[in-house]
């Protein structure tokens, strides 16, 4: 159990995936394919671009049956369900993230929405382009939405060597929220400043890990805390996932030579270290990855 209390989950602008804008922006949240930064790098595992298409395409109108069912579930999620159901867990995590970041960032505004793609969904339109189901979680600054795929959260991340335990999934949501914080603070475009192991993309991703740690340090404390006190075992599941999605680990697991010039997210050691930095300090000011060596 990570969420405490009972009753309906109030708030959270979370809905089934589908719709959104169209365009050629930049997706933030994982590995890079060409000039597009996408969710947790499926490319090295599959050899595909994760289904991201740079030409605008229109999805079918309305929602599929699976999306309608997911939408109905999301409208009726309870706190108890957030401890057993991935979709409700994502919704609960976004509510907690909103609450905690509103205390930390002056003038904080929630994302425009969070989209969840059900198992079997083929693609989603965003202002950053059309993302396929295998893209992985990402944040699109163009329309200010975060996107998550149920299959990725439940199955794919475990296949990559990460954990699909409750708090590990919450860490993934919190990481994408970190990109929203960067957008609010004007740092998101720094992802385009330089390439490789010390480049802007790596620095932006590591800061998002640090921001996830900051949230984790706050979300189980104080009156009205949504999370029950986190255990070291729960934190370890997030660290396992951070370890699994480091650039060097992904490249090794794909049978490739480790190439720092191609890094977009940082090494496993860096990802674990920056999450831990945020968690131990609880201070966004300690998440400055943009100066010095990272």
Residue 162, pLDDT score: 98
**Residues above pLDDT 70, as percent of the chain:** 85
pLDDT of residue 134: 84
Whether the full predicted model's pTM is greater than 0.95, yes or no, is no
Percent helix, strand, coil in the chain (nearest 5)?
45, 10, 45
Calpha distance 60→25 (Å, rounded): 21
Three-state helix/strand/coil letters over 181-205: HHHHHCCHHHHHCCCCCCCHHHHHH
Q: What is the overall mean pLDDT for the chain? A: 87
Rounded to whole angstroms, how far apart are CA atoms 161 and 36? Answer: 24
pLDDT tens readout for residues 14-72: 999 854 333 334 556 533 222 223 343 322 222 333 333 333 333 344 678 999 999 99
94 CB-contact burial (10 Å; exposed 0-12 / middle 13-18 / buried 19+): buried
pLDDT, tens digit, for every residue of 108-135?
999 999 999 999 999 999 999 999 888 8
pLDDT at 133: 85
**Strand 113-117 to strand 123-126: parallel, antiparallel, or no bridges (unpaired)?**
unpaired
Domain ranges of the chain: 14-287
Tokens of 203: 């620095």
């Amino acid at each position: 159990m990570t969420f405490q209390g009972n009753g309906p989950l109030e708030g959270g602008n979370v809905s089934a995936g589908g719709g959104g804008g169209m365009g050629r922006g930049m997706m933030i949240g994982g590995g890079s394919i060409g000039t597009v930064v996408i969710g947790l790098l499926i490319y090295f595992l599959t050899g595909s671009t994760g289904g991201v298409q740079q030409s605008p395409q229109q999805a079918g109108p309305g929602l599929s049956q699976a999306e309608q069912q997911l939408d109905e579930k999301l409208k009726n999620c309870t706190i108890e369900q957030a401890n057993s159901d991935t979709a409700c867990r994502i919704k609960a995590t976004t509510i907690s993230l909103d609450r905690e970041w509103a205390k930390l960032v002056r003038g904080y505004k929630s994302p425009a929405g969070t989209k969840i793609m059900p198992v079997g969904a083929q693609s989603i339109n965003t202002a950053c382009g059309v993302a396929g189901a295998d893209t992985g979680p990402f944040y699109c600054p163009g329309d200010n939405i975060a996107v998550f795929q149920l299959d990725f959260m439940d199955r794919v991340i475990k296949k990559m060597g990460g954990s699909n335990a409750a708090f590990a999934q919450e860490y993934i949501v919190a990481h994408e929220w970190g990109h929203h914080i960067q957008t609010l603070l004007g740092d998101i475009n720094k992802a385009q400043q330089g390439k490789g192991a010390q480049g802007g993309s790596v620095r932006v991703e590591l800061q998002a890990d640090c921001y996830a740690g900051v949230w984790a340090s706050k979300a189980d404390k104080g009156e009205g805390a949504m999370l029950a006190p986190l255990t070291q075992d729960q934190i370890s599941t997030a660290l396992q996932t951070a370890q699994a999605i480091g650039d060097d680990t992904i490249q090794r697991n794909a049978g490739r030579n480790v190439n720092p010039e191609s890094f977009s997210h940082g090494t496993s050691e860096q990802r674990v270290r920056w999450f831990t930095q945020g968690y131990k300090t609880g201070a966004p000011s300690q998440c400055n990855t943009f100066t010095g060596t990272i």
